[in-house]
Chain A
Amino acid sequence: MSNVLPGLKYSKEHEWVKIEGNVAAIGISDHAQSQLGDIVFIELPKVGASAQYMKAVGVVESVKAASDIYSPVSGKIVAVNEQLTKTPESVNKDCYGTGWMVKIELSKPEELNALMDDKAYTEFLAKH
């Protein structure tokens, strides 16, 4: 049973979103990291680049596969977790903490309404 943290929003592509004022921190869920297996490389966007709702902002590569990270919100990239280039395994070990990936300044906060809360995401995982 994978860990779903309360207080976060989740996308159907298994990204989590943590709202801090007008900025959303984004990572991938525990379910996603366990499905991918050992993560060996993460490609992140440049600070200042723009993110679009449900468009790829990066790539997570594991020993099994490479998958896009979809941005659950639109806006401007204000920070990326540079540590992940050296320690991509943080995503496996602590996906909701040191494994965060990007921070996006929201341009369309209403997009958050389309995301799931922890309860809805838990149900979503049970069905899929």
Chain B
Amino acid sequence: MQSELRVARIMTYIPHTPSEREVMLKTLGLNSLDDLFAHLPAEVKAGELNLPKGLGEMELSAEMSRRARKNKATNELTCFLGAGAYDHFIPPVVDQLVLRGELYSAYTPYQPEISQGILQIIYEFQTMMASLCGCDVSNASLYDGATALVEGCQMAVRHTGRNRLVLDGAIHPHYLQTAQTLLGVQGIELQIIAPKSGEFRSNINAMSAAMNEQTAAIVVGFPNFYGSIDDISAAAETAHKAGGMLVSISNPFSFGLLQPAGALGADVVCGEGQAVGVPLQFGGPYLGYICCKKEFVRRMPGRLVGQTLDMKGRRAFTLTLQAREQHIRREKATSNICTNTALCAMMSHFYMSALGKSGLKRAAELSVMKTDLLRQKLRAVKGVIVPEYAVFNEFVIETPEPAKQVLDGMLKAGVLGGLDLGIYDKARANQILVAVTEKRTEGEIERFVNTISS
């Protein structure tokens, strides 16, 4: 209560007076504001900043810089960590364009049609994403990969009127948790099918076998969490035969080189778009995206920009198919997403424009070649096992010592070696998920090998 009073005194623009807060807390039967958040795990709370009273702006900013330096950024380390967020090269022109005041908006603007420039950029972003993913339509973007997965699943459930989904267990564990939470409360039944024991490939056969006429969709990771690229067209065929759909959770960067999921039969392609033009930026905000075949467009969540003609017959852009959305359809809307991550979508647009089709292909090719080079070198390292399966730019290795120990050692040498898979599964405590982007040099790949051997 004391700290709260202090805040209220300093920040006088907080509209509630201490006595009003006390009344509200009393009504709720709580003693302090902290009680209101007691259900949150301690480790996710920011805690006290422990700043001395009355620092000047200059002293304060010096103090905060000093603290910020405790963080190690990827520009000081060599980053082989991926698992959904990747250290790709982004041309500086992207930053420069994004900082323009007329574009600097986190969301779809209000009265969007006044901002024709932003709508044109979003329209072009949609066109590029749809084309990259092998689909007919993309929306204006969603929040992140995990919620994009949920939205993709909901599209299938709504379209088929079926209440059951078969999910690939080789989707990011965080995404699966999000799906279990958000779909579980809607009473949607999820059957999660893990890869075969000791394997990292998506278990397409088992997923196909689990598909039936009560199931809305097969939901597959392509490339999956372990980097594996599998033949999802078989899953598409099974799903369609049973009157269901195929939803693919994909890293769109991979489609610079790989056959896109849409072309392989996926009806909905969605996931995390960070790899296509958004910096790592401390883990967010990122870029959820969702694309689909034309016949499903009215099941699509969120905002959609269309092209039209204005009163004078000139090319113009407008939000379209809004009858899907919450402000019109209320509780029957396709989703409660009512905006998009406009700034991140714009970054992605500028990135894709700067690289072009051939640039995206080259960046993807380089990532694959360098991934292959590192895998090759690691096969020769004593004690390290490189499981064999087809991958894009990410793969698993098994180490003789626990992954945590290996990674801590590498970090001391300035190498961010990857993700300790033991975090999610104790049986995987000796496994590391390693990602290689086009940014990694041969010398850096050599350093990875040297630091892991020592």
Q: Which of B298, B323, B324, B328 is the most central at the interface, judged by chain A CB atoms within 10 Å of its CB?
A: B323
B332 within 8 A of A: yes
Contact of B298 with A43 in the complex, beta carbons under 8 Å: yes
Q: Which residues of A contact B329 (CB under 8 A)?
A: 66
A61 touches B332 (CB 8 A): no
**CA separation between A61 and B297, bound complex, in Å?**
14
Bound Cα distance from A65 to B332, whole angstroms: 12
For A62, the chain B residues whose CB sits under 8 A away are 323
Interface residues of B in 361-397 (CB under 8 A from A): none
The contact string, 1 if C-beta is below 8 Å from chain B, for chain A 61-78, is: 110011010000000000
Cβ contact within 8 Å between B328 and A41: no
Q: What's the nearest-Cβ distance from chain A to residue B73, in Å?
A: 47
**A interface vs B, CB < 8 Å?**
41, 43, 61-62, 65-66, 68
Question: Could you tell me the distance in whole angstroms from the C-beta of B204 to the nearest C-beta in chain A?
Answer: 29
- Closest CB in chain A relative to B390 CB, distance in Å: 39
Additional 8 contacts, C-beta under 8 A, given A62-B323, A66-B332, A68-B332: A41-B298, A41-B323, A43-B298, A61-B298, A65-B328, A66-B323, A66-B324, A66-B328
B326 CB to nearest A CB, Å: 12
The complex places the Cα of A65 from the Cα of B323 at a distance, in Å, of 6
A-chain residues with CB within 8 Å of residue B332 when the two chains form the complex:
66, 68
Those 9 A-B pairs whose CB atoms lie nearest each other, nearest first: A66-B323, A61-B323, A66-B329, A66-B328, A65-B328, A65-B323, A41-B298, A43-B298, A68-B332
A68 to B328, CA, bound (A): 12
User: Which residues of chain B are near A43, meaning CB under 8 Å?
Assistant: 298
- A21 to B329, alpha carbons, bound, how many Å? 36
Interface size of B in residues (CB-CB distance below 8 Å) = 6
Q: Tell me, rounded to whole Å, the shortest Cβ–Cβ distance linking B308 to chain A.
A: 12
Within B307-328, which residues are at the interface with A (CB < 8 Å)?
A: 323-324, 328
What A residues does B324 contact at CB under 8 A? 66
> How many residue pairs between the two chains, A and B, have CB atoms under 8 Å in the bound complex?
14
Q: Which residues of A contact B328 (CB under 8 A)?
A: 65-66
Q: Which residue of B lies closest to A45 (CB)?
A: B161
Assembly CA distance A41 to B298 (angstroms): 10
Chain B nearest CB: distance from A36 CB in Å? 11
B-side contacts of A65, CB under 8 Å: 323, 328
Closest-by-CB residue of B relative to A41 is B298
Question: Closest CB of chain B to A114's CB: distance in Å?
Answer: 25
Which residues does chain A contribute within 8 Å of B323, judged by CB atoms? Answer: 41, 61-62, 65-66
Within 8 A of A (CB), among B290-310: 298
Residues of B within 8 A of A41 (CB): 298, 323
8 sampled A-B residue pairs with Cβ under 8 A: A43-B298, A61-B298, A61-B323, A62-B323, A65-B328, A66-B324, A66-B332, A68-B332
- A56, chain B: closest CB distance, angstroms: 8
Closest to B330 in A: A66
Q: Give the CA-CA distance A43 to B158 in the complex, in Å.
A: 12
B293 CB, min distance to chain A CBs, angstroms: 15
- Among A61, A66, A68, the one with the most B-chain Cβ atoms within 10 Å of its Cβ is A66
Docked complex Cα distance between A17 and B328 (Å)? 27
A41 to B322, CA, bound (A): 12
A61 contacts which chain B residues (CB < 8 A)?
A: 298, 323
Interface positions of B from 30 to 73, Cβ below 8 Å from A: none
Question: A68–B323 Cα gap in the complex (Å)?
Answer: 12
Write the nearest CB–CB distance from B296 to chain A, whole angstroms: 12
Smallest distance from the beta carbon of B219 to chain A beta carbons, Å? 23
Fill in one digit per residue for B176-214: 1 if any A CB lies within 8 Å of its CB, else 0: 000000000000000000000000000000000000000
The CA-CA distance from A68 to B332 in the complex, in Å, is 10
Q: How far is the CA of A68 from the CA of B330 in the complex (A)?
A: 12
- In whole angstroms, how far apart are the Cα atoms of A32 and B323 in the complex? 17
Distance of A33 from chain B, by nearest CB (Å): 16
In the bound complex, CA of A62 to CA of B324 (Å): 11
CB-based nearest B residue for A61: B323
Q: Roughly how many angstroms separate A123 CA and B328 CA in the complex, as a whole number?
A: 30
The residues of B that contact A68 with a CB separation of less than 8 Å are 332
In the bound complex, CA of A65 to CA of B330 (Å):
11
Measured between alpha carbons, how far is A41 from B299 in the docked complex, in Å? 13
- When distances are taken between beta carbons in the complex, the residues of chain B under 8 Å from A66 are 323-324, 328-329, 332
- In the assembly, what is the distance between CA of A62 and CA of B321, in Å? 10
- With A and B bound together, what is the CA distance between A62 and B298 in angstroms? 13
For the complex, what is the distance from the CA of A66 to the CA of B333, rounded to whole Å?
10
The B132-158 residues at the A interface (CB cut-off 8 A) are none
In the complex, what distance in Å separates the CA atom of A41 from the CA atom of B297?
12
CA distance A61 to B325 in the complex (A): 12
Residues of chain A with a CB closer than 8 A to B298's CB: 41, 43, 61
Interface 1/0 per residue, B148-176 and A, CB below 8 Å: 00000000000000000000000000000
Assembly CA distance A41 to B332 (angstroms): 16
Residue of A nearest to B333 (CB): A66
Nearest-Cβ distance from residue A88 to partner chain B, whole angstroms? 12
